[in-house]
A and B are shown apart, each in its own frame.
Chain A
Amino acid sequence: AQTIHQWPVAEIKAVGSPLSLGCTIKGKSSPNLYWYWQATGGTLQQLFYSITVGQVESVVQLNLSASRPKDDQFILSTEKLLLSHSGFYLCAWTGGNSAETLYFGSGTRLTVL
């Protein structure tokens, strides 16, 4: 069975500080990977997706960047956090077929002060 692990579970960071969030998926080779962001009480907004190592497509950047250094790993980062970056970040995966269902990790709650 596939498992997706996100880290860290929660972060409290200062405005202007750097950020790195990650997720790892086990039990699935060559997955499509996604980053989503959710403001408190809001909907889920897709930020990035990747279909293969080294290839990342941006949907909405929000002054963030993403990278896929390994087949099973997806990283979300920024060099300078803004207050507006606060929220819930979710990583998701699916197989390579557009018909497949997306499954989500447990998320990282980010508070920027």
Chain B
Amino acid sequence: AQKVTQTQTSISVMEKTTVTMDCVYETRDSSYFLFWYKQTASGEIVFLIRQDSYKKENATEGHYSLNFQKPKSSIGLIITATQIEDSAVYFCAMRGTEGADRLTFGKGTQLIIQP
């Protein structure tokens, strides 16, 4: 069974700084896909960035990047030059390639950007 764990419940940082959110996962699949989503205050779930397990290079997308450490089953999200509108709940998720088609989410990390 897949499991995704986000231990940071809430993080507060100053605007324009860099923040890292942690995520560890468990899976028996040899190939899998890791995602980060953002949930805005309205409830909207927005896809941010993904990492395919077979790729060694860390994914980047705008001011989002990933720190993928496969031996540690870890996929951290890094946001640089944070803005007030980055305040949201961030979810880590994993999708395997074997068995049932399932995208498993962590419990989320609330990010608060202070001016």
User: How many CB-defined contacts (below 8 Å) exist between A and B?
Assistant: 55
Interface of B is mostly: strand
For residue B99, give the distance in angstroms from its CB to the closest CB of chain A. Answer: 10
Chain A to chain B contacts (Cβ below 8 Å), 7 pairs:
A44-B93, A45-B105, A90-B45, A98-B101, A102-B95, A102-B103, A104-B47
Set of chain A residues within 8 Å of B45, measured between Cβ atoms: 44, 90, 92, 104, 107
**Any chain B CB within 8 A of the CB of A99?**
yes
- Chain A residue total in the interface (Cβ 8 A): 23
Q: Is the CB of B50 within 8 A of A101?
A: yes
Q: What is the size category of the interface that chain B forms with chain A?
A: 20 to 34
- Do the beta carbons of A43 and B107 come within 8 Å of each other? yes
Measured in the bound complex, the distance between the Cα atoms of B33 and A10 in whole Å is 32
